[in-house]
Amino acid sequence: MAAIAREPPRIDFVRLPTPLDSQRRNRHEKSLVAAARGRRRARARGGGTKHHRLQHRRHRRRRALAKGHADVQTVATRRPELREPRDHRQGALGKLLYYDHRLSQEGTISCDSCHVLARFGVDNLATSPGDKGQPGGRNSPTVFNAALHMAQFWDGRAKDVEQQAVMPVLNPVEMAIPSESFLLDRLAQYPDYRELFAKAFPDDATPMSYANIGKALAAFERTLLTPSRFDRYLEGDRGVLDPQEKAGLRTFFDMGCTSCHNGVTIGAQSFRKFGLGESYWVHTGSKKIDTGRFQTTGDEADKYVFKVASLRNVEKTFPYFHDGSVTTLEDAVRVMGKLQVGMDFDDQQVADLSAFLRTLTGTLPAEAIRPPEVLPTAD
């Protein structure tokens, strides 16, 4: 990675690992684990001052990053650009479905109940209550820019938004619809829905299908993109960031945050273990220990592995992490420094990084966050 000068580098490109780099990254993560164990043994022996340990940790981190990025490919950074649905009728139908409480068994919640578009796609709760008031298992992630993620959910169990959109509907803890046919029979009672499905999927023998519910919701979600002030900086407007925000950007690169938080979504393009060398719950205060992707794959290597969070709109999408265990952005930065970078960020670094992260807050699409005036009604 290029050396960090006094002025922030031109961020015209983001460096992403190639497939050949994965082995190096695995070795890098193992080295961090081994280093953390060594530091704990040293502390137990009383060896070394805190300053010396931090300096040594920083030196090892930079060497590891330099090795880990020896072979990389560069991809042009671009702002999230509005993708018009292939068929506007699918997107319009998807918006109605998104706001319709009848997609839950008791009619108490809609997609917007947990992923509140007017609140940057979240409800700002640690976990969201389901249709019958039961608590959800993980923090509800934002839907903004989610269509650009490499996979959906914290454990990546859905490959895209088409697949993801319909999974909460049948989840007994979330929207609790008992079966696909139950929901289709319910929607078929409404002439407007029958007509809208027919127009949105004119080539289908059965336009109103469960798969098409997912396609319509996904068509709407693909419009939920939020270009930010930082994108203007990437496009050459150097004056759009103030000195502290630029200092935070320098720190973001210097600390190697782009190892995981990269690409157009500044994250959400890979899976990583949460807690390298130390257990995450010790620092987050998590009430429940979640084994992460392991619950989906059954692979021991996936224990405590989660999808890297996108940092777009991170200022607004509190509380943080898969269980919403950390409330403030500054505390989340400290936790990430400790668990993922292997450093205790000082107050200035935390303030600078937080200032930079706030430049990733985007502009909400006005039409999308305006609820429909009328939903389909029965005969």
Show which residues are catalytic. 174
Picking from 222, 303, 321, the residue whose alpha carbon sits closest to that of residue 267 is 321
Which residues fall within 8 angstroms of residue 227, CB to CB, at 6 or more apart? Answer: 79, 80, 81, 362, 363
Q: Using DSSP bridges, classify how beta strands 72-76 and 271-273 pair: parallel, antiparallel or unpaired.
A: unpaired
Q: Residue 109 in contact with residue 116, Cβ under 8 Å?
A: no
Which residues fall within 8 angstroms of residue 166, CB to CB, at 6 or more apart? Answer: 210, 211, 213, 214, 217
Q: Using DSSP bridges, classify how beta strands 271-273 and 305-307 pair: parallel, antiparallel or unpaired.
A: antiparallel
> Distance between CA atoms of 226 and 348, rounded to whole angstroms?
28
What does residue 264 show for φ and ψ, rounded to 5 degrees?
-60, -30
Q: What is the distance between the terminal CA atoms of the chain, rounded to a whole angstrom?
A: 64
Which residues fall within 8 angstroms of residue 94, CB to CB, at 6 or more apart? Answer: 85, 215, 216, 217, 218, 219, 220, 221
Rounded to 10 degrees, the C-alpha dihedral 199/201/206/208 comes to -70
> Distance between CA atoms of 201 and 222, rounded to whole angstroms?
17
Its sign, for the CA torsion 167, 172, 176, 182, is positive
